[in-house]
């Protein structure tokens, strides 16, 4: 009596074991797992070494910790959910959370053109950029040598007959076992001496190479023009590490570190490059307090809201109108009309924007030359016409999406509701307005909110069509009449000679707060709308 259930349990156990083995993939899956994790660990070790070498200890430690966690998750038995969730969580942390946190950090710094490194790098750059050849400098017989990885170094012979070797990051040091030909050092152990052909092949690198004489940057560097003779170069500025001052030896001006990320003279003149420091809320104060920035910033903010709202309203109304028309059963060939309606949505948006930019060209665009008989209407260079052009092009690009959405929503509403209302005496328009429209809004309201958020940051259209222009020449930042907030941030951060990453990050945080606030309010209104219906 008990043998049958026992045999059944054994068969079930063996079957479960076979299923588990099949799911585990056996030794092939284990081998693949080891190979993949080996690649991941190698990349993690390389990234950690680079970060530690760059003194980014915190980020390097996070990379090491993440690699350990990944190995523990995938090498231990069981724990199937973490194995599926780990890749997604890692990408979320790297490409979303880290980006947001780093942007927040940059917003509280002066990071930008002239302030993008450390103070030590700034001192070195100032001294190197202002070096001049010492008039009575002795000439040093020179042999240019190449080390591991193609790194160039100078092998020089002093007037006393000693051999010294140094590179761009290594001051000159004695080479006791150098090889001499006559009174000239020509080779050093572990290095390859360049012949004439080698000198000609790398003459630009050799001419730009400056080898420090010692650890003291005030002692200058050795440079060469022909690769055969080196001369002493000394900066016109002298750096005092104890007083933290930079003195102009020719003019006598003294530049001090006042905590602003640069050496500043008594008259306020800054000696650039500077270095990156924390500035607190200064970037936000500039955004709202500096008149040359506040005015353009508020103007761009108003236009951004107007652009996003008008884009959603116009595309939704046109899409809804077409959906109602082509949803009427009396309309013939509705299938073909619907295909034609979605054609603008089938092409990439940035390509369509480029095509429209050519069509709206003032001199030879299709719109002016064909539709307006050769008139030179400045569609993209006049402030208001450019805004009208952007709204028109965005209507062309956006109405197919709204047409598809509203068509599906209308088809999901039972026709019996409208028919019952009409039997009670309502007109077709009243039935649509009082019954179908509220039900339609419940379905598409979240999509309208997401469309508003998309158009609030619709960078591609603005940049491809007008580039944000025409330019506002009176603004204290690089901004144009058709710029929205996201394109303004891009210009502040990446366009022009003066790039201000700190201010751009502050703008990004403001944009995030605005969009988040609007989305929360809109979704609450949507919930209220659902409750009313």
Residue 532 has pLDDT above 80, yes or no: no
Q: Is the pLDDT of residue 286 over 80?
A: yes
**Which region among 13-22, 143-152, 370-379, 487-496 has the lowest average model confidence (pLDDT)?**
13-22
Per-residue confidence (pLDDT) for residue 523, from 0 to 100: 73
pLDDT, mean of residues 503-528: 84
Tell me the pLDDT tens digit for each residue of 291-338: 999 999 999 999 999 999 999 999 999 999 999 888 877 777 777 888
Q: Are residues 313 and 264 in the same domain?
A: no
Q: Is residue 103 part of a domain?
A: no
> pLDDT digits over 346-366, tens only?
888 888 999 999 999 999 999
Q: In the predicted model, is pLDDT for residue 227 greater than 70?
A: yes
Tell whether 108 is covered by a domain: no
Look at residue 464 in the predicted model and tell me its pLDDT. Answer: 93
CATH number at residue 464: 1.10.3720.10
Residues 415-434 as b/e (b if ≥16 CB within 10 A, e otherwise) read eeebeebeeeebeeeebbee
What pLDDT does 415 receive?
78
Is the same domain home to 262 and 329?
no
Number of compact structural domains in the chain: 3
Residue 264 sits in the same domain as residue 303:
no
pLDDT over 50 at 144, yes or no? yes
Q: Are residues 217 and 164 in the same domain?
A: yes
**Do 377 and 513 share a domain, yes or no?**
yes
Say if residue 175 is in the same domain as residue 309.
no
Using the structure block, give the residue that is written with the tokens 């020449």: 473
Determine the average pLDDT of the residues in 407-413: 87
Q: Which of 24-28, 341-345, 381-385 has the lowest mean pLDDT?
A: 24-28
Residue 266 falls inside a structural domain: yes
Is 235 inside a domain boundary? yes
Does residue 303 sit within a domain?
Answer: yes
Residues 231 and 380 in one domain: no
pLDDT at 387: 96
Domain end (from 22, 56, 78): 78
Residue 90 is assigned to a structural domain of this protein: no
End residue of a domain, out of 14, 44, 78? 78
Average pLDDT over residues 374-403: 94
Percent of the chain residues past pLDDT 70, beyond the cut: 93
Q: 308 with 348, same domain?
A: yes
CB 231 within 8 A of CB 133: yes
68 & 205 share domain: no
Residue 286 placed within a domain: no
Q: Which long-range contacts (CB under 8 A, 24 or more apart) does 378-387 make?
A: 380/465, 380/466, 380/469, 381/469, 381/470, 382/470, 383/470, 383/481, 383/482, 386/466, 386/469, 386/470, 386/481, 386/482, 387/303, 387/307, 387/481, 387/482
Res 179 pLDDT > 50? yes
Q: Which residues contact 352 (CB under 8 A, 6 or more apart)?
A: 344, 393, 396, 397
> Tokens 């039997």 — which residue?
423
Q: Is residue 49 domain-resident?
A: yes
Residue among 110, 109, 104, 117 nearest 54 (CA) = 117
Poorest-confidence range of 235-239, 410-414, 478-482? 410-414
Give yes or no: residues 485 and 369 share one domain. yes
pLDDT value of residue 2: 52
Tell me, yes or no, whether 200 and 167 share the same domain: yes
Domain that includes residue 73, residue range: 3-78
pLDDT bin (cut points 50, 70, 90) of residue 251 is: confident
Among the three residues 78, 112, 143, which one is the final residue of a domain in this structure? 78
255 and 298 fall within a common domain: no
Task: Tell me the average pLDDT across 466-477.
Answer: 89
């Amino acid at each position: 009596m008990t043998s049958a259930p026992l045999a059944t349990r054994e068969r079930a156990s063996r079957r479960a074991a076979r299923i588990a083995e099949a799911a585990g993939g056996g030794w092939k899956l284990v081998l693949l797992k080891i190979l993949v994790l080996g690649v991941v660990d190698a990349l993690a070790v390389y990234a950690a070494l680079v970060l530690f070498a760059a003194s980014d200890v915190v980020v390097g430690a996070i990379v090491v910790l993440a690699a350990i966690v990944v190995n523990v998750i995938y090498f231990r038995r069981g724990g199937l959910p973490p194995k599926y969730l780990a890749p997604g969580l890692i990408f979320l942390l790297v490409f979303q959370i880290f980006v947001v946190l780093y942007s927040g950090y940059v917003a509280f710094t002066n990071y930008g053109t002239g302030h993008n490194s450390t103070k030590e790098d700034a001192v070195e750059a100032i001294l190197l950029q202002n070096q001049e050849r010492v008039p009575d400098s002795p000439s040093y017989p020179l042999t240019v040598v190449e080390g591991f990885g193609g790194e160039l170094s100078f092998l020089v012979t002093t007037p006393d007959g000693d051999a010294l070797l140094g590179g761009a990051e290594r001051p000159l040091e004695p080479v006791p076992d150098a090889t001499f030909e006559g009174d000239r050092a020509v080779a050093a152990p572990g290095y390859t001496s360049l012949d004439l052909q080698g000198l000609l092949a790398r003459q630009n690198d050799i001419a730009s190479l400056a080898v420090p004489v010692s650890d003291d940057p005030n002692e200058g560097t050795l440079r060469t023009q022909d690769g055969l003779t080196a001369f002493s170069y000394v900066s016109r500025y002298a750096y005092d590490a104890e007083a933290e001052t930079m003195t102009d030896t020719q003019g006598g001006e003294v530049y001090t570190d006042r905590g602003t990320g640069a050496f500043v003279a008594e008259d306020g003149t800054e000696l650039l490059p500077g270095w990156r420091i924390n500035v607190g809320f200064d970037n936000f104060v500039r955004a709202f307090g500096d008149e040359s920035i506040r005015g353009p910033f508020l103007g761009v903010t108003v236009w951004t809201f107007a652009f996003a709202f008008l884009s959603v309203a116009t595309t939704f109304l046109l899409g809804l109108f077409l959906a109602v028309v082509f949803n009427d059963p009396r309309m013939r060939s509705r299938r073909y009309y619907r295909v034609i309606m979605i054609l603008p949505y089938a092409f990439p948006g940035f390509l369509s924007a480029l095509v429209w930019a050519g069509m709206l060209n003032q001199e030879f665009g299709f719109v002016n030359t064909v539709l307006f008989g050769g008139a030179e209407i400045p569609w993209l260079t006049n402030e208001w016409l450019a805004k009208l052009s952007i709204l028109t092009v965005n209507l062309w690009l956006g109405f197919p999406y709204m047409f598809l959405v509203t068509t599906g929503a209308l088809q999901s509403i039972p026709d019996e509701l409208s028919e019952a209302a009409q039997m009670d005496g309502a007109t077709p328009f009243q039935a649509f307005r009082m019954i179908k429209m509220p039900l339609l809004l419940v379905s598409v309201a979240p999509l309208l909110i997401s469309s508003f958020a998309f158009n609030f940051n619709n960078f591609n259209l603005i940049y491809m069509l007008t580039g944000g222009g025409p330019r506002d020449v009176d603004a204290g930042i690089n901004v144009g009449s058709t710029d929205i907030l996201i394109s303004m941030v891009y210009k502040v951060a990446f366009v022009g000679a003066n790039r201000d990453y700190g201010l751009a990050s502050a703008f990004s945080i403001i944009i995030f707060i605005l969009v988040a606030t609007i989305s929360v309010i809109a979704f609450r209104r949507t919930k209220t709308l659902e409750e009313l219906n």
